[in-house]
Amino acid sequence: MDRPIFIVGCPRSGTGIFHQLVRLHPQVAWITPFTNAVCGKPWFRRVSPPAAWPVEWVLHRLPNAALPPLLRGPYDGSLGLSSVFETHEGHAIWDQALPPTEDHRATAEDVTEDVRTYLRDVVHWHRRYHNRPRLVWKTPKNAFRLRFLRALFPQARIVHLIRDGRAVAASILKRRRASGRLHQWWGVRPPGWQSVQSAPPIEQAAWTWQQCIGQIRADIARFPDEHCLEVHYESFLDAPGRVLRRVFSIAALSPEGFFTEQNRRHLTKVRPPQTTWRTRLRAEQIEHLEEAIASTLRECGYDDLATPR
């Protein structure tokens, strides 16, 4: 039976770097920009995975400027991984599976027989493509799709990555500024996101983090306890090897296959956590932020609130 591994969390919570490392396990397949483009089409089943592999091998060696936007990377630049192919969140695949909606919520009621067949075939296609028995898939939108995933893959493994909401909010604001659209909504769209569109960007980011945490924690309870793991991003940065062993344990993967000399070198690139949000955010932003999400911060173990109460 399919046992895909889904990494979920609010955007800017470190799910990207986490995904990059998990997919280095020799038994794990993943989605690439090329396979996202192929499997995002209804005719993808007519493409033989073994025949498609050499095409990506060539594409991977071309400069980004020579590729259409859908195929461009790198997505793995933060670690400078030398392994073949980049990782991708599979946006085209999700667009093919789920019709456009106002938000990113999906439940068991959205699982039709066509959707079930399509996504299971996508998982099987990627396992053949990489010649590996398991698939790891990271998409922040899945914070609001766990009930949907539970109906599709009852044996799936779920890893929930939590990061300090203040750091997440600061990172979301940085991403918005970099795009030149500070006041435009970015990232996942929780149900009801339109109701906070007029709020300051820092409050929108905080609200998004809080909605992601609440929804994931509520829905993850529908999975067997032994199939789920909640990880704090800061703990992962402090001890990446120890955390990955826990991930491989709940995923029923042998950790020994991962801890090669090369992968251990990759782990040394993971840096200890820093509180750069304290300098990125203004004092009044921190105050508003902590007022909005203080209870959730404490529930998640972040008790060092900067603003006195």
The DSSP secondary structure of 160-206, one letter per residue, reads EEE--HHHHHHHHHHHHHHHT-TTS--S---TTGGGGTTS-HHHHHH
Q: What percentage of the chain has pLDDT greater than the value 90?
A: 70
Please give the Cα distance from 129 to 51 (Å, whole number).
Answer: 9
- Asked if residue 99 belongs to a domain, the reply is yes
Q: Is residue 147 in some structural domain?
A: yes
Q: pLDDT band at 89, cuts 50/70/90?
A: very high
Q: Is residue 263 part of a domain?
A: yes
Q: To which residue do tokens 């939590």 refer?
A: 162
56 vs 189, higher pLDDT: 189
d(CA 253, CA 64): 34
Strand partners, 134: 28
- Give the pLDDT of residue 192: 96
Mean pLDDT along residues 16-30:
94
Is the confidence at residue 81, as pLDDT, over 90?
A: no
For 7, list phi and psi in degrees, rounded to 5. -100, 120
Dig out the tokens for 49 from the structure: 């995975």
Return the ∠ at Cα 289 (arms to 287 and 295), rounded to 5°: 105
What is the predicted pLDDT for the residue at 305?
65
The pLDDT of residue 163 is 96
Domains in the chain, number: 1
Instruction: Kindly tell me if the per-residue pLDDT of 283 is higher than 70.
Output: yes
Per residue in 170-212, pLDDT (tens digit) is 999 998 988 888 888 988 999 999 999 999 999 999 999 999 9
List all residues 6 or more positions away from 187 whose beta carbon is below 8 Å from its beta carbon.
11, 12, 140, 172, 175, 208
- Measured at the CA of 306, the angle between CA 304 and CA 309, to 5 degrees, comes to 90
Residue 43 pLDDT grade (very low, low, confident, very high; cuts 50, 70, 90): very high
Whether 211 is covered by a domain: the verdict is yes
Please check whether residue 283 lies inside any domain of the structure: yes
pLDDT digits (tens, 9 = 90+) for 93-141: 999 999 889 999 999 999 999 999 999 999 999 999 999 999 999 999 9
CATH number at residue 77: 3.40.50.300
> Could you tell me the pLDDT band of residue 33, with boundaries at 50, 70 and 90?
confident
Looking at residue 290, what is its pLDDT? 87
Specify if 305 maps to a domain.
Answer: no
Please state the pTM of the whole predicted model. 0.92
pLDDT computed for residue 308 by the predictor:
37
pLDDT over 60 (residue 7):
yes
- Is 306 a residue whose pLDDT tops 60? no
Find the domain containing 215 and state its range: 5-299
Structure tokens at 134: 């398991």
> Which position has the higher pLDDT, 66 or 13?
13
The pair of three-digit structure tokens given for residue 37, joined into one six-digit string: 């483009």
Q: What is the pLDDT of residue 195?
A: 94
Residue 122 lies in a domain: yes
Query: Cα 160 vs. chain centroid, distance in angstroms?
Result: 9
- For all residues of the chain together, what is the average pLDDT? 90
Residue 308 lies in a domain: no
Residue 76 pLDDT exceeds 60: no
Written as one letter, the residue type at 191 is P
Q: Which residues of 74-99 are buried (b: 16+ CB within 10 A; e: fewer)?
A: ebbeebebeeebbbbbbebbbebbbe
Tens digits of per-residue pLDDT, 255-279?
Answer: 989 999 989 988 988 888 888 899 9
CA-CA-CA-CA torsion sign (24, 138, 146, 126): negative
Residue 60 has a pLDDT of 75
pLDDT band for 72, please (50, 70, 90 cuts): low
